[in-house]
Amino acid sequence: SQTIHQWPATLVQPVGSPLSLECTVEGTSNPNLYWYRQAAGRGLQLLFYSVGIGQISSEVPQNLSASRPQDRQFILSSKKLLLSDSGFYLCAWSADRRNSPLHFGNGTRLTVT
């Protein structure tokens, strides 16, 4: 069966520090991968998605970037964190089929101080 792993579960970082969140998927190949963010009291916002290695699409301009160095690895990064980057970051995957649902990881709660 397929599983998705995200780490760390929680993270506290100072303003201006770098960020690297990692997500890996097991049990499938060539998945579509997604990064979402949920700010406190707000809905989920799609940040990035990827349909293959090295292929990244950004949904909103921001202080973050994403990379997909391997088929089942998706990384969210920032060179310098802002206070507004605080939130709950969720990675998700889906099979590349028309009606395939997204499956989410357990998320990383990031607090920028």
**Which positions lie near another protein, rule CB under 8 A?**
32, 34, 43-44, 46, 49, 51, 57, 59, 88, 90, 92, 94, 96, 98-107, 109
Q: Which is nearer to another protein, 3 or 17 (CB)?
A: 3
Amino acid symbol at 14: P
Q: Which is nearer to another protein, 65 or 103 (CB)?
A: 103
Residue with tokens 């940040």: 47
Q: Which is nearer to another protein, 38 or 67 (CB)?
A: 38
CB of 70 to another protein, least distance (A): 19
Run of H or E including 75: strand 73-78
CB of 28 to another protein, least distance (A): 15
Q: Is 1 exposed, middle or buried (0-12, 13-18, 19+ CB in 10 A)?
A: exposed
CA angle in degrees (0–180, nearest 5) for 19-87-29 = 65
CB of 48 to another protein, least distance (A): 10
CB of 43 to another protein, least distance (A): 5
CB 7 within 8 A of CB 22: yes
